[in-house]
Amino acid sequence: MSEGELPRRFLRLLESRRIRRFPDGEAAVSEELEAARHDLREAEESLRRGSFKWATVQGYYAIFHAARALLFARGYRERSHSALAQAIKALYVDRGRLPESLHEAHVNAMSLRETADYRSQFSERGAVQVAAGAREYIAAAEAILREDGLLAPPEEGQ
């Protein structure tokens, strides 16, 4: 996709340098997805232990890394968490490739993570919500990346 075909919202992120070109992005996609899966496993373990603050933080980072994988696949990288969410909305959500509900899960998880980190306010309900959103987000990102030929199909039994 040429710059002329990019959504205006995304072009503004480029102009403001909140999003930058990342020519090696495709090479980093698998690493980002593995980070997402790892953070999700950690979030689920924290939930089992009743550590809801860390489950919230880890669940958010699972979404963050899955979103980065999607952005990297397009040859870009973010300069901030909010720019990442805006870029994914412009490149994937607004184009019907990622459900709006997952963008909302991303933004909600970002807010819950900030509240947990900076105000020490968190709950079991929020942690469960973030982890569930992370599971769905990772699955959707993997499906998109497979469709785009950037991720191998899952092996039998997975």
Residue 13 covered by a domain: no
Smallest CA-to-CA distance from 51 within 118, 122, 137, 138 is with 122
Question: Which parts of the chain are beta strand (E)?
Answer: 19-21, 76-78
pLDDT given at position 138: 98
Tens digit of each residue's pLDDT (9 = 90 or more) over 3-33? 558 999 999 999 999 999 999 999 999 999 9
Residue 108 covered by a domain: yes
Q: Which domain holds residue 105?
A: 23-147
Residue 12 covered by a domain: no
CA distance 70 to 29: 7
pLDDT given at position 2: 45
Residue 11 covered by a domain: no
115: domain CATH number is 1.20.120.330
pLDDT given at position 152: 86
pLDDT given at position 27: 93
Smallest CA-to-CA distance from 24 within 75, 79, 91, 88 is with 75
Residue 8 covered by a domain: no
CA distance 139 to 23: 25
Residue 10 covered by a domain: no
- Those residues of the chain that have pLDDT short of 50 are 1-2
Residue 154 covered by a domain: no
Q: 51 phi and psi, to 5 degrees? A: -90, 80
Instruction: Give the count of domains, the chain.
Output: 1
Quote the DSSP letter at residue 3. G
> Is-above-0.75 flag for pTM?
yes
Query: Residue 13: is it exposed, middle or buried by C-beta count within 10 angstroms (0-12/13-18/19+)?
Result: buried
